[in-house]
Amino acid sequence: MPSAAISLHSEPRRRAIAPRKVAPVRAAGEPVVLSAQEASALIANLARDGDRQSFAILFSYYFPRVKAYLMRAGAAPAAAEELAQETMLRVWRKAGSFDPRAGAPSTWVFVIARNLRIDRIRAERTPGEIDLDPSEEPDAPPTGEAMAILKERSDRVRQALGALSREQALIIELFYFDEAPHSEIARRLALPLGTVKSRLRLAVQRLRAELEDLG
């Protein structure tokens, strides 16, 4: 299965509509860099009118990250590529189910990938084989109280991240969510290594101060 693109011709026909304009997210030849807000907007475009330009940007950004995550989790390269393709197909099909109030786009995408990997492991095992590690079991549905607490914490974290400068927020996302090392962030953003470290340190200090009472 080619990794460059997913065939969408088998998807249900959507009403004809001109693709929405999407702001450029990279210069020619440079890697895609998306903030959580930009990714949310692209998913909204996809859910609303099946905008293929939005999907292409999401695919370029998330596919290599999902594949790398699956390989770190133990999948062989070919299996990781196949599961990453299926993950992005689910993103296309289920874009309308994404709720930015419930979590970041990256969290939503990686949960899809994790669940697909668990399903693949289950399907490949015979009944007599050892069960999955408990850490790989899908989470139990949260209680109403837990959901309320989670939403409050999520809102606070979102507000704290929103208070950061765009530059600091992007570095936080690249370092913590994409697991990019300082040197890679410096290369992607064309910044001196010292500037990256300084912005990350200041951003973390501000987040800690804003969220200190959450423990």
Q: Count helices and strands (H / E) in the chain.
A: 8, 0
Burial bucket for residue 37 (CB in 10 Å: 0-12, 13-18, 19+): middle
Q: What one-letter code names the amino acid at 49?
A: D
Mean pLDDT across 175-198: 85
Whether the CB-CB separation of 182 and 153 falls below 8 Å is answered with no
Residue 91: pLDDT over 90: yes
For the chain, the average pLDDT equals 74
Q: Could you state, in order of their start, the residue ranges of all structural domains in the chain? A: 26-139, 142-215
- Give the integer Cα–Cα distance in Å for 200 and 210: 15
User: Can you give the pLDDT at residue 19?
Assistant: 37
Task: Tell me which of 3.40.50.2000, 1.10.8.60, 1.10.1740.10, 1.20.1050.10 is the CATH number of domain 26-139.
Answer: 1.10.1740.10
What contacts 24+ positions apart, CB below 8 Å, involve 70-74? 70/113, 70/117, 73/114, 73/117
Q: pLDDT grade, residue 192 (50/70/90)?
A: very high
Residue 130: pLDDT over 70: no
- Give the integer Cα–Cα distance in Å for 193 and 182: 7
Q: pLDDT grade, residue 161 (50/70/90)?
A: confident
User: Can you give the pLDDT at residue 90?
Assistant: 93
The closest of 158, 181, 171, 155 to 204, measured between CA atoms, is 171
Give the DSSP letter of residue 213: G
Residue 193: pLDDT over 60: yes
- Give the integer Cα–Cα distance in Å for 136 and 202: 35
> 8-48: per-residue pLDDT in tens?
444 444 443 333 444 434 444 455 677 888 889 999 999 99
User: Can you give the pLDDT at residue 37?
Assistant: 86
Residue % of the chain over a pLDDT of 70: 67
Collect all residues with Cβ–Cβ distance below 8 Å to 193 and sequence separation of at least 6: 182, 183, 186
Predicted TM-score (pTM) of the model is 0.51
> 55-88: per-residue pLDDT in tens?
988 998 899 999 998 998 888 898 999 999 999 9
Residue listed under structure tokens 């990350």? 200
User: Can you give the pLDDT at residue 155?
Assistant: 67
User: Can you give the pLDDT at residue 89?
Assistant: 92
Q: Which CATH architecture has domain 142-215?
A: Orthogonal Bundle (1.10)
